[in-house]
Chains A and B, each alone.
Chain A
């Protein structure tokens, strides 16, 4: 069972917007930055968002992140079939150990 809680799945039509939530506690999300990862089938995870809302070079602005209290949200606009993947949130706990969410499978209908 993962430390951070994500919905198992979300879905939306191409071109639409979707949000993925990530819930934690004061000992992890509440006091640390949140990052988000995209894992396409059969590949390694890829960093999408770091420090709650920053995008690495090359990540389109269709992807956005936010954090409030002990929860974080990933937003994806203008959905494309190529966005179908598993998405994971991650952060650190008070003892500098990494923690991840259980992952959310995005289906673009």
Chain B
């Protein structure tokens, strides 16, 4: 059974760095073809893809946010971490992590999401 769960602060101040952790089970990120991605959704708005890390430690970032994002993995802990620097109120959103298999080319399992509010 595949599960993912996001964790991190619910509230951050402007200019601070956000660190989110995705803890997953039911698959291994050392298995060929496995990837984990981060997606966010501001309240009442559409999904926005942020970043992806694959089994080979290749990393891909949103063009508009790449200077602020870092994605990393700890295979032994079944965790993927996303950091976003210089947070702003417009970054207020629910942040999701999701599994991607290169075979299916889709986000097949999602975490429940974690709401992050940026406010002083």
Residue-by-residue, is A70-105 near B (CB-CB < 8 Å gives 1, otherwise 0)? Answer: 000000000000000000101010011111111100
Which residues of A are in contact with B by a Cβ distance under 8 Å?
A: 2, 32-33, 35, 37, 43-47, 50-51, 56, 88, 90, 92, 95-103
19 residue pairs A–B, Cβ–Cβ below 8 Å = A2-B46, A33-B105, A33-B106, A35-B105, A44-B96, A44-B113, A45-B47, A45-B110, A47-B110, A50-B108, A51-B106, A56-B108, A92-B105, A96-B52, A97-B61, A98-B37, A98-B52, A101-B46, A102-B46
Residues of chain B within 8 A of A102, CB atoms compared: 46
The CB with the most chain A CB atoms within 10 A, among B37, B105, B113, is that of B105
Residues of chain B within 8 A of A101, CB atoms compared: 46
Q: Once bound together, how far apart are the Cα atoms of A46 and B37, in whole Å?
A: 15
Contact indicator A44/B46 (Cβ below 8 Å):
no
Residues of chain B within 8 A of A96, CB atoms compared: 52, 60
Contact indicator A32/B47 (Cβ below 8 Å):
no
Q: B interface, by DSSP: helix, strand, loop or mixed?
A: strand
Q: How many Cβ-Cβ contacts under 8 Å join chain A to chain B?
A: 64
Q: Once bound together, how far apart are the Cα atoms of A90 and B63, in whole Å?
A: 16
Question: In this complex, what residue of A is CB-closest to B105?
Answer: A33
B62 at the A interface (CB under 8 A): yes
Q: Once bound together, how far apart are the Cα atoms of A92 and B35, in whole Å?
A: 14
B48 at the A interface (CB under 8 A): yes
Q: Once bound together, how far apart are the Cα atoms of A56 and B49, in whole Å?
A: 21
Instruction: Choose from B52, B62, B111 the contact partner of A44 (Cβ within 8 Å).
Output: B111
Nearest 10 A/B pairs, CB to CB: A98-B49, A35-B106, A50-B106, A33-B105, A44-B110, A100-B47, A103-B46, A102-B46, A50-B104, A96-B60
Contact indicator A35/B107 (Cβ below 8 Å):
yes
Question: In this complex, what residue of B is CB-closest to A50?
Answer: B106
Question: In this complex, what residue of A is CB-closest to B96?
Answer: A44
